[in-house]
């Protein structure tokens, strides 16, 4: 191994550990802040560039999404926690995706209007159904045409009898 390879590896490891330490200290600050406000059930999820905190105090559930780099609040919601089973204490988890993308995002995983990842099979099914409907319509049109031809033939036969 060359000295350059060793240096690059060391610098990369330090950068990753610094980013991890920064995220960890932000997480610790969020937990401390929520606990000081009386929240007893706290769930922290860390994404690539965002931190999501869900916390419960009494019958109130708070959800806040922070920008990891700036600490800016990207989204904040409160709702009733009545009826929810929530374990007390703090849990921390890591996610592969961020929680808010800044565009029309309401934090529902699969129902964003611009998100077609989960619609492909539905589109194919819709296309198949449309094709079947078209074939059925064509068959009905052909039947109608044959019926019209028979009626015309009958009318012609009646005219010949007169």
Tell me the whole-structure pTM to 2 decimals. 0.50
pLDDT for 69-122, tens place per residue? 898 999 999 999 887 777 789 999 999 999 988 654 444 444 444 445 555 555
39: helix, coil or strand?
coil
pLDDT at 65 over 70: yes
Cβ 69 vs Cβ 25: under 8 Å: no
**Residue 155 confidence class, pLDDT cut points 50, 70, 90:** low
Q: In angstroms, rounded to a whole number, what is the distance separating the alpha carbons of residues 102 and 85?
A: 30
Highest mean pLDDT among 90-94, 112-116, 130-134, 142-146: 90-94
Q: In angstroms, rounded to a whole number, what is the distance separating the alpha carbons of residues 16 and 21?
A: 8
């Amino acid at each position: 191994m060359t000295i350059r390879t060793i240096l690059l590896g060391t610098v990369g490891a330090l950068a990753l550990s610094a980013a991890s330490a920064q995220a960890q200290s932000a997480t610790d600050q969020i937990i401390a802040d929520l606990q000081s406000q009386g929240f007893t059930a706290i769930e922290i999820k860390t994404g690539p560039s965002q931190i999501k905190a869900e916390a419960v105090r009494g019958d109130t559930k708070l959800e806040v999404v922070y920008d990891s780099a700036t600490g800016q609040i990207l989204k904040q919601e409160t709702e009733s926690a009545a009826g929810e089973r929530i374990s007390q204490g703090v849990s921390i988890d890591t996610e592969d995706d961020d929680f808010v993308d800044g565009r029309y995002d309401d934090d529902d995983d699969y129902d964003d209007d611009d998100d077609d990842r989960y619609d492909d099979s539905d589109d194919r099914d819709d296309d198949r159904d449309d094709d079947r409907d078209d074939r059925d319509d064509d068959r009905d049109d052909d039947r109608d045409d044959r019926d019209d031809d028979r009626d015309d033939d009958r009318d012609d036969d009646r005219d010949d009898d007169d």
